[in-house]
Amino acid sequence: MFFYLRLVKESFYFAINALRNNKLRTFLSLLGVTVGIFSIIAVLAAVDSLDKQIKDQLSGLDKNTIYLAKFSFGPTEVPRWKRQNFPEVSYDEYKYLKESLSDAQHVGYQLFVMRQSIKYESNSVTNVNVVPVSYEFSDIQVLKFSKGRFYNEAESNSGKPVVVIGDEIAKSLFGESEPIGKRVRLYGQRFTVIGVVNKQGSGLLGDSNDISIFIPANYLRKRFGDNDDRMNHVIIVKPKLGVDMAGLKSEISQKLRIRRGIKADSINNFFVNILTGLTNAIDGIISFMNSIGWAISGFSLLVGGFGIANIMFVSVKERTNLIGIQKSLGAKNRFILFQFLFEAIILSIVGGLVGLFLVWFTIIILSQFTEEFEFVLSTFNVFLGFSLSSLIGLLSGVIPAISASRLDPVEAIRSGF
């Protein structure tokens, strides 16, 4: 046992001395592995950060939430010309489904409209995301408020000119002053601010609540009517916990088909979109991005591995005479094998650690400039980077190490003369 420990120790010291004596070559070999590990771990960390940001934004939504509209969230076999002729879902259909769906926890109504400007005294914000919705929207998306509240059923149904604003909108319009009760100008009319939504951060899926404002959908319906081409209508259904989603989707389709008088042999002129489909599509995109990242970064790591293997062959060639002397003095094959194998592994591990450090340092720097986006370097990715660098060193050094251990001592010494 002690013999093998001494063997490993002596082989390790020989490897360290060889690396010290060839500093430039060592640095160039480290560089290849460093670039490879940095590329792979940086890509994986970026994808993990993106995945976490998206899931954090969807955390307030039930993945089973259903969006009923004339358009589809994903690919569809319905031709575009047919989809363009589909009618918008209506406010009456929203009320009908709200009264008739027993398995729905909340049913809401939303309009998608053009961006607007909002103004308070001399301060104004342009390109604001306007979200006209019914009062149930606050419960469907589980909105939380730093100040005030969301509008109630009576205010929603009457289309009262009240507005709930995002955190960034509140800061831009009012600074440090109290926004609740203030009257802002929107659509050429005065709206009373009744609430401020909690800060959310940057929005990767649509606009962030921070730069959005919420108004009763009925305000726009009464002002512009239901047939305005600038508005798209959506009915949102949040199911009760544990409901059979296939059954609920079928029930919604059946009720709406009957109400619209769609014949049995005709296709639906609406789409029942479930948020789970969107999240599954996002997971697929994230997985694809990971695969692409591995494929691209893998080439860098492969080049680094070949670089180490090449350097090790050169090292064996340069030290052939020394290997012959060591063997003539009684050095065993395994001593020579470990000596070169440790040299390759040390090169790879140090290069991998430098690559991981560069990823960590890059994340620290980027975090200083993008406070709203949280970069993540997981323990798994750190372990993966360390393991990959060790594996590359092992694979790159094993063949040169074996060739060195099998050299004939007489021929090896003769090659030095």
Residue range 18-33, pLDDT digits in tens? 666 666 666 766 777 7
- DSSP summary character for residue 74: S
- The verdict on 298 and 220 lying in the same domain is no
Residue 118's pLDDT is what?
92
Do residues 258 and 299 share a domain?
Answer: no
Cβ–Cβ under 8 Å, residues 169 and 210: yes
Phi first, then psi, for residue 101 (nearest 5°) are -90, 110
Cβ pair 195, 76 in contact under 8 A: no
66 part of a folded domain: no
150 in the same domain as 37: no
Q: Does 401 reside within a domain?
A: yes
Same domain (yes/no): 160, 212: yes
Beta bridge partners of 183: 192
Q: What is the mean pLDDT of residues 230-258?
A: 88
224 and 291 co-located in one domain: no
| Residue 126 covered by a domain | yes
Please tell me the pTM assigned to this model.
Answer: 0.62
Same domain as 233, residue 94: yes
On whether both 196 and 233 belong to a single domain, the answer is yes
> What's the domain count of the chain?
2
Residue 77 lies in a domain: no
What pLDDT was estimated at residue 220? 93
| Res 3: pLDDT | 46
- Chain centroid to CA 321: 55
> Is 108 among the domain residues?
yes
Tokens of 265: 């042999």
CB of 180 closer than 8 Å to CB of 195: yes
Alpha carbons 193 and 149: distance in angstroms, whole number: 10
| Of 176, 168, 175, 181, the residue nearest 126 (C-alpha) | 168
- Using DSSP's 3-state secondary structure scheme, residue 271 falls into strand
- pLDDT above 90 covers a percentage of the chain that reads 21
Domain presence at residue 71: no
Largest CA distance in the chain: 101
112, 245: one domain = yes
Confidence of residue 415 (pLDDT cuts 50, 70, 90): low
Domain that holds residue 184: 87-269
Would 80 be classed as within a structural domain? Answer: no
Is 237 a member of any domain? yes
Q: Looking at the structure, tell me whether residues 259 and 287 fall in a common domain.
A: no
Higher pLDDT, 43 or 15: 43
* Size of the chain in residues: 417
State the Cα–Cα distance between residues 282 and 286, nearest whole angstrom.
Answer: 6
Task: Give the pLDDT score at 283.
Answer: 67
Please list, residue by residue across 9-36, b when 16 or more beta carbons sit within 10 angstroms of its beta carbon and e when fewer do. eebbebbeebbeebeebbeebbebbbbb
> Do 263 and 301 reside in the same domain of the chain?
no
Weakest-pLDDT range from 72-76, 223-227, 272-276, 370-374 = 370-374
Compute the Cα dihedral for 341, 343, 346, 350 and give only its sign: negative
Question: Which tokens sit at 189?
Answer: 């009319």
Task: Tell me, yes or no, whether 406 and 308 share the same domain.
Answer: yes
Mean pLDDT across the chain: 79
Smallest CA-to-CA distance from 127 within 233, 211, 219 is with 211
Specify the amino acid at residue 10. E
Same domain, 47 and 111: no
Give exposure, 217-246, as e/b (b: 16+ Cβ within 10 Å): bbbbbeeeeeeeeebebbbbbbbeeeeeee
pLDDT, position 393: 74
Q: What is the DSSP string of 298-309?
A: HHHHHHHHHHHH
Q: Residue 247: is its pLDDT beyond 90?
A: no
| Final residue belonging to a domain, choices 203, 235, 269 | 269
**172-222 per-position pLDDT tens digit:** 998 888 999 999 999 989 999 999 998 876 654 556 788 899 999 999 999
Select from 269, 302, 335 the last residue of a domain. 269
333 or 179, higher pLDDT: 179
Last residue of a domain, one of 210, 234, 269: 269
Per-residue pLDDT at 352 exceeds 60: yes
* C-alpha atoms less than 13 angstroms from C-alpha of 64 in its C-beta half-sphere: 16
Tell me: pLDDT of 7 over 70: no
How many angstroms separate the CA atoms of 269 and 134, rounded?
A: 24
Residue 54's pLDDT band (cuts 50, 70, 90): low
Comparing 384 with 185, the larger pLDDT belongs to 185
